[in-house]
Structure 1
Amino acid sequence: MVARKIELKQVGDPAKTRLRLWIRLLRASRFVEAEVRERLRCEFDVTLPRFDVMAALYRHPAGMKMSGLSRFLMVSNGNVTGIVDRLVKDGLVIRSQPDGDRRSWTIKLTNSGISAFETMANVHQVWINDLFKEISLEDAKMAEAILDTVVVGRQVRDD
């Protein structure tokens, strides 16, 4: 198979540069995500979605409603339900119904869940630091600020 360069007609240089940036962001993101998935699986026998659910719940010690958890993770309720079911079965999460609301559930990490997540999160931080070690602290802060402008700009346009 031969790679072919696509000619973008009637697109200025800034647009091409931004497109190349997008492609590089995707490539870097996919590389880091694949590496983290593999390390979580090998070291903790945990999937990345399970880690993400635990991370979200850890950030919300009072717990979260299932719908709020789905919104926070930007996935469907159905995707979260299966993960939460397994976390409950493993004793890492508890599910409770708020008084007077039989249709919604609040999800919260158990003490075992908190302990397990903290162990994984500390190791995860070391992995990420290692994967990004070639990026200076100054460049990391600049990249963070630049990427924030994409999200903030989108939120302003949506309002």
Structure 2
Amino acid sequence: MNESAPSLSKRRLKSWIRLLRLTRTVEADLRDYLRKGHETTLPRFDVMAALYRRREALTMSELSRLLLVSNGNATAVVDRLEKDGLARRTPAPTDRRTVHVALTEAGLKAFEAMAQGHEARIDALFSGLSAEDLDTFRDILQRAQPEKIPE
């Protein structure tokens, strides 16, 4: 066996642990920021972001797939957004079982306000990285995509 193989394997494992720690730390900071600064949650922000990016109404199944969550989780968040006047559901004209969801005007404005602060927070959290660092980081992450993992 190649002597460097275990070493490289351990380094990859340590890199994964560092990446996971970074992700959890940033996510915790964002949860706190959204809770304190906008009285909202990260799941609500994520749902609003998905709806904002698409702009047209999405089915609940499409929304769940985009967010990588169950229909039940997406439904619970959309229920609350609808109650708060930030999202609206409309039945599909051809299939009453299918429901579309979109942000309301109030939802669009609320998301834009949150998104500005969210971007500023991310910018502050990653301020130690230069443009070159970010390019390198992006390239590394692209090479590490799970779709490229050999079986």
Same fold (TM over 0.5): yes
> Which consecutive residues of structure 2, in runs of 5 or more, have no partner in the other structure?
none
* 1:25 matched residue in structure 2: 19
Query: How far 1:150 moved relative to its partner?
Result: 2.5
1:85-142 Cα deviation digits (max 9, x unpaired): 0100111001011111111111101111000000000010000000000011111121
Q: Kindly tell me: are residues 100 and 157 of structure 1, through their superposed partners in 2, closer, same or farther at Cα, counting changes over 3 Å?
A: farther
Q: How many angstroms apart in 1 are the aligned matches of 2:12 and 2:61?
A: 34
Query: How large is the Cα RMSD of the aligned pairs?
Result: 1.8
State the identity %: 48
What is the letter of the counterpart of residue 29 of structure 1?
Answer: T
Q: Kindly tell me: are residues 156 and 20 of structure 1, through their superposed partners in 2, closer, same or farther at Cα, counting changes over 3 Å?
A: closer
* 2:49 matched residue in structure 1: 55
* 1:144 matched residue in structure 2: 138
* 2:65 matched residue in structure 1: 71
Q: TM-score with structure 1 length normalisation?
A: 0.88
> Which consecutive residues of structure 1, in runs of 5 or more, have no partner in the other structure?
1-10
What is the letter of the counterpart of residue 19 of structure 2?
Answer: L
Helix, strand or coil at the partner of 2:55 = coil
Q: How many angstroms apart in 2 are the aligned matches of 1:155 and 1:89?
A: 42
Q: How many angstroms apart in 2 are the aligned matches of 1:75 and 1:43?
A: 25
Q: Show the 5 A alignment for 1:33-52.
A: 33-52=27-46
Equivalent residue pairs, number: 148
Q: TM-score with structure 2 length normalisation?
A: 0.92
